[in-house]
Amino acid sequence: MAIARIVLTTREHIIALESRGKGIMGTLLRFPYEVRDEKDYFDDIRDTKLGKDAMDLAKHIVQTKAGHFRPGKFEDRYEKALRELVAKKQAGERIEAAKAGPPAKVINLMDALKGSIAAERRSEKKPPAPSQKRRKTKPPRRSRKVTRRAG
């Protein structure tokens, strides 16, 4: 690992350089004056004891959403939209500002999560689907004894 200085957007930055495969990866570091004290942000947060329901809900959410991170599933929507906008501008198309959509419906997140979990649990506990109606069966036939006559 190496530490270097680099100028980006008219400012000098410190960068950590690390070899990765056939290349070098740089990670931008911060000067001490850029790192703010966490007390400025988190001291106002009260220590609260979460109830069992809230903890169970949080555990359930983490368990159902856990998985491997796959960067390929994500895209930079801002960059994509910006590229499309630039392409339209280069093609001479007129660019108009997007109209504001209707206000979002505000929901109680805790109630929605509880409802979602309840629905999931109901679907897990459903009895198996009943099979087709059984036909009334006839009593088994008596077997006939076949006797052969000698002779």
The domain of 7 spans: 1-39
Number of structural domains in the chain:
2
Tell me, what's the pLDDT at 4? Answer: 93
Alpha-carbon span 116 to 64, nearest angstrom: 12
- Residue 32 in domain: yes
The whole-number average pLDDT for the span 86-105 is 89
Residues 1 and 57 in one domain: no
pTM, entire model: 0.35
pLDDT of 96 higher than 60: yes
Tell me, what's the pLDDT at 17? Answer: 95
Q: Kindly indicate the confidence band of residue 50, based on its pLDDT and cuts at 50, 70 and 90.
A: confident
Tell me, what's the pLDDT at 130? Answer: 58
Tell me, what's the pLDDT at 136? Answer: 52
Question: Whose structure tokens read 């001490």?
Answer: 32
Helix, strand or coil, per DSSP, at residue 26:
strand
The whole-number average pLDDT for the span 106-133 is 75
Query: H-type helices in 10-149, by residue range?
Result: 39-42, 52-65, 77-90, 109-125
Q: In the chain, what is the straight-line distance between the N-terminal and C-terminal CA atoms, in Å?
A: 108
Q: What's the chain's average pLDDT?
A: 83
Alpha-carbon span 24 to 7, nearest angstrom: 17
- Residue 83 in domain: no
Alpha-carbon span 99 to 7, nearest angstrom: 39
pLDDT of 122 higher than 60: yes
